[in-house]
Amino acid sequence: MTIDITQQLNPSQLQVVQTIEGPVLVIAGAGSGKTRVIEYRVLHMVQQNIPPHAILLLTFTRKAAQQMLARASRNDIRCSYVEGGTFHSFAYQVLKKHSRHIGFDSFMIIDESDAEDAIHLCLGKLGLNEKSKRFPRKDTLRKILSMSVNKSLSLDQVVEKEYPHFCEYVPEMEKIKAAYARYKMEKNYFDYDDLLIYLRLLLTRNENIREGLSEKFRYIMVDEYQDTNRLQADITFLLAQKFRNCMVVGDDAQSIYGFRGATHENIMEFPQRFAGCKVFKLEANYRSSQAILEVANAVLNNMTSKYKKELFSAKGTEGEKPQLSFFQDSSSEAEWIADKMLQLRSEGLAFSHQAVLFRSAYLSIPLQLELSRRSIPFQVYGGMKFYETAHVKDVLAHLKIVANYKDELSWARMLQLIEGIGPKTASKIVDKINAAGDLNRAVSSVLPEETRQYKFARDIARLVVTLEKLSDAQVRTADKLETLIDYYLPILKNKFDDWNQRINDFEAIKQIAQRYDSLGDFLADFALEPPDRGVAQAQASLPDEEKPVTLSTIHSAKGLEWECVFLIGLIDGVLPVSFALNDDSSIEEEQRLFYVALTRAKTRLFLSVHHENTGMGLSQFNKVSRFLDSHQVLSKLDQEVRLDYDVI
DNA sequence: CCGCGGAGTGTTTTT
DNA sequence: CACTCCGCGG
């Protein structure tokens, strides 16, 4: 079955889809059908008999890749064999096969909090623990090290720019950096940054492997290119160098990951890196009504962005003017939104077509309370990932040991769950474990022998039995979890007052585990592909009318769209966030974030401000976001002052 | 050496 | 306001 793509696309979209050979840069404004273009380009390529496994689609989240490929597959099943994922997951796949060429027989991915633990450990070894009070904490240290990698800057430069108050500690940080690097190398730990670093290293050093991968992936596409960093651009270049069939898509006005080292210079420099590159611009907006686009354009005009552009609505609908409302506090804001949601639904707009967006996750809490109170189903994106909550990490630590008994961070974490074992005792036991030689000996002999004389020997015995069950290769991961959770339950109840809530997450983990045969892949994916709290899977099969409303950080809303969007907390210090206020480029990024939020809406858009901050003792009074403080923008909005707000 | 209670601190966004 | 760090009692 072939479908006529010329019927589905406008002329510029069609050009992009049909330009398969050679380097291509697509500047795709918000809502310009970028996803559609990628989807049809994949389809077109496959129908030109390019083997699907020769196509590599790199995206920002795996969800994005899956969605595009799933949609392309509806027209041609071969599209589902296209390789797709994030740079990090791609790096994992490649390194899993080839890491020995850069000196690692195997490796294990550690997440941010593991990395912080490791840094903490190095701090101890270096004797920097008793340093003065003003020494940066482990999470700050990790951020500094990571930023220097992702922005390709020296520690000196990062600290000077982002943490000037820590300038005097740069020499110590250099030592920590070296110690941390050595530690990771010793233990075969790769942090997120290492995945990219080592992939680039592999591609640079080993010509055969680079050639092999270039042969394999003759066609490369990168989505959200404005949010890639230097390393990712290098990787793209190395992979595509040979055949030069590389298309990148992005929008500099939507670059919102600068804090992670992303640089829109990648977009600007792409034509220089790939000489002869064709540049296409998609400016017709198929998503939003004209009234919404006018607000977005007004914001765009306030920016000093490099590619000037003006979105125009291809839908041709004028639509309702977006509304700006003021509330006394966040709970009256939440009440009003809940009312509005119910009203919209009674008018025929399903919950699943409505979303609330916010700058920071905590802003959604009053809303979550209100929605629960009214039994409005909702789903939360962004904020604390459930895989980085303490109880989930506790459980996973056990599995990580089974996958790799040398994982001493996990050993330490696991042992310290037992009452009476603190950092010292744990580290003593871990030393013995390290010498054991294999998992079986470590668990069945070393562990009981080393702890025989302590009063927690009984607890250790229980742990040993559990670990022995877990290491049975015949048992499926999902069943192992069953055993493990039985073991962990008493610890959970002891450790957390809210264990009742937390216990739900274990169901989610079990569900996710069902999808994996290999424990290693399960753990890697857990680190790399933030699974949503499990509900998403269950809801996928429901009809639209029964799906919940979405609450999302603006960052997590990237690439998504809804009929109706509520954007809350338009307060100076919230959006733009307070930390950004003294730096022009950060303010710009906040403004782009605002722009991204606005352009998620198709037909209805509600902006809101609450004036009073509850909590923190005395109430504080908020100022309206500076992004709204311009006639250009305000004139495009309908303003409504709520009666429950006392003007002072 | 562990664990608990109190004080103090920095506080966002995500792979 | 949540988490980390510090000092003290067991």
The distance (Å) linking the CA of A8 with the C1' of C2 is: 51
Find which of A71-85, A184-198, A292-306, A474-488 is predicted with most confidence, using mean pLDDT. Answer: A184-198
* Cβ-7 Å neighbors of strand B: A 60-61, 86-89, 112, 133, 137, 139-140, 192, 256-257, 259-260, 359-362, 381-383, 385, 416, 419-426, 528, 530, 553, 555-556, 577, 579-580
Of the candidates A8, A150, A147, the residue with the CA atom closest to the CA atom of residue A75:
A8
pLDDT band at A306 (very low <50, low <70, confident <90, very high): low
- pLDDT at residue A500 is higher than 70: yes
Asked if A133 CB < 7 A from strand C, the reply is yes
Give residue A617's pLDDT: 38
Question: Which of A17-21, A44-48, A570-574 is least confident?
Answer: A570-574
Question: Which of A155-159, A231-235, A441-445, A534-538 is least confident?
Answer: A534-538
Cα–Cα distance measured from residue A250 to residue A247, given in angstroms and rounded to the nearest whole number: 10
| Share above pLDDT 70 across residues of chain A, in percent, rounded to a whole number | 93
A18/A529: higher pLDDT: A18
Residue A207: how many other CB atoms lie within 10 Å: 9
What 3-state DSSP class applies to A23? coil
Cα–Cα distance measured from residue A511 to residue A532, given in angstroms and rounded to the nearest whole number: 11
Name the nucleotide with the smallest C1'–CA separation from A390.
C3
Cα–Cα distance measured from residue A288 to residue A564, given in angstroms and rounded to the nearest whole number: 10
Can you tell me which residue has the tokens 């250099």?
A174
Count of positions (residues) in chain A: 648
Q: Average pLDDT in the A126-150 region?
A: 81
Cα–Cα distance measured from residue A637 to residue A337, given in angstroms and rounded to the nearest whole number: 18
* DSSP structure string for A501-566: HHHHHHHHHHHHHTT-S-HHHHHHHHHHS---SSHHHHHTTS-GGGSPEEEEETGGGTT--EEEEE
Q: Average pLDDT in the A284-295 region?
A: 93
What 3-state DSSP class applies to A371? helix
- pLDDT at residue A616 is higher than 50: no
Of the candidates A544, A554, A547, A549, the residue with the CA atom closest to the CA atom of residue A371:
A549
Cα–Cα distance measured from residue A206 to residue A281, given in angstroms and rounded to the nearest whole number: 36
Q: In angstroms, what CA-CA distances link A293 with A286, A296, A313?
A: 11, 5, 7
Q: Which amino acid is at A319?
A: G
| Cβ neighbours for A563, distance < 8 A, ≥ 6 positions apart | A349, A353, A354, A601, A602, A603, A604
Asked if A435 CB < 7 A from strand C, the reply is no
pLDDT band at A313 (very low <50, low <70, confident <90, very high): confident
Asked if A120 CB < 7 A from strand C, the reply is yes
Helices (H), A248-314: 265-273, 290-301
Cα–Cα distance measured from residue A356 to residue A365, given in angstroms and rounded to the nearest whole number: 12
Question: Which of A86-90, A108-112, A121-125, A355-359 is least confident?
Answer: A121-125
Using DSSP bridges, classify how beta strands A246-250 and A219-222 pair: parallel, antiparallel or unpaired.
parallel
Q: What angle do CA A440, A446, A448 make, to 5 degrees?
A: 105
- pLDDT at residue A547 is higher than 90: no
| Signed CA dihedral, A541, A546, A550, A551: sign only | negative
C-alpha R_g of chain A:
26
Give residue A130's pLDDT: 58
pTM of the model: 0.91
Average pLDDT, chain A: 88
Paired strand residues for A86: A59
Q: Average pLDDT in the A38-62 region?
A: 93
Name the nucleotide with the smallest C1'–CA separation from A617.
C1
Residues A407 and A117 sit within 8 Å (Cβ to Cβ): no
**Residues of A 138-177 whose CB lies less than 7 Å from any atom of strand C:** 138-139
φ, ψ of residue A279 in degrees (nearest 5): -115, 130
Q: In angstroms, what CA-CA distances link A366 with A335, A386, A638?
A: 9, 20, 25
Q: Which amino acid is at A285?
A: N
pLDDT band at A381 (very low <50, low <70, confident <90, very high): confident
Of the candidates A605, A619, A646, A645, the residue with the CA atom closest to the CA atom of residue A299:
A605
Q: Average pLDDT in the A458-472 region?
A: 91
pLDDT band at A533 (very low <50, low <70, confident <90, very high): low
Name the nucleotide with the smallest C1'–CA separation from A137.
C4
Q: Average pLDDT in the A345-363 region?
A: 94
A437/A214: higher pLDDT: A214
pLDDT band at A618 (very low <50, low <70, confident <90, very high): very low
Structure tokens at A180: 């941390």
Summarize pLDDT for A253-277 with one digit per residue, the tens: 999 998 888 988 899 899 999 999 9
Using DSSP bridges, classify how beta strands A549-553 and A562-567 pair: parallel, antiparallel or unpaired.
unpaired
- pLDDT at residue A2 is higher than 80: no
φ, ψ of residue A434 in degrees (nearest 5): -55, -35
- pLDDT at residue A646 is higher than 80: no
| Share above pLDDT 90 across residues of chain A, in percent, rounded to a whole number | 51
Q: Average pLDDT in the A615-621 region?
A: 51
Find which of A54-68, A234-248, A530-544 is predicted with most confidence, using mean pLDDT. Answer: A234-248
pLDDT band at A131 (very low <50, low <70, confident <90, very high): low
Name the nucleotide with the smallest C1'–CA separation from A259.
B13
Q: Average pLDDT in the A608-620 region?
A: 64
| Kind plus residue range of the DSSP H or E element containing A605 | strand A601-613
Residues A104 and A186 sit within 8 Å (Cβ to Cβ): no
Nucleotides of B under 7 A from a protein CB: 1-3, 9-15
Which residue gives the smallest C-alpha to C1' distance to B8? Answer: A133
Q: In angstroms, what CA-CA distances link A389 with A18, A312, A415, A505, A533?
A: 46, 43, 18, 10, 12
The distance (Å) linking the CA of A517 with the C1' of B15 is: 24
A537/A272: higher pLDDT: A272
Q: Average pLDDT in the A528-549 region?
A: 66
Summarize pLDDT for A142-173 with one digit per residue, the tens: 999 999 998 888 998 888 888 888 888 888 88
What 3-state DSSP class applies to A245? coil
Cα–Cα distance measured from residue A179 to residue A119, given in angstroms and rounded to the nearest whole number: 8
The distance (Å) linking the CA of A153 with the C1' of B12 is: 22
The distance (Å) linking the CA of A548 with the C1' of B5 is: 42
Q: Which amino acid is at A301?
A: N
Give residue A436's pLDDT: 84
Cα–Cα distance measured from residue A597 to residue A309, given in angstroms and rounded to the nearest whole number: 18
Give residue A133's pLDDT: 61
Give residue A243's pLDDT: 95
Give residue A537's pLDDT: 47
Residues A209 and A159 sit within 8 Å (Cβ to Cβ): no
Question: Which of A307-321, A352-366, A395-409, A458-472 is least confident?
Answer: A307-321
Residues A82 and A53 sit within 8 Å (Cβ to Cβ): yes
A385/A226: higher pLDDT: A226
pLDDT band at A531 (very low <50, low <70, confident <90, very high): low
Cα–Cα distance measured from residue A16 to residue A410, given in angstroms and rounded to the nearest whole number: 48
**Residues of A 572-631 whose CB lies less than 7 Å from any atom of strand C:** 615-616
The distance (Å) linking the CA of A170 with the C1' of B13 is: 26
Q: Average pLDDT in the A572-586 region?
A: 86
Residues A198 and A192 sit within 8 Å (Cβ to Cβ): no
Structure tokens at A493: 């109840």
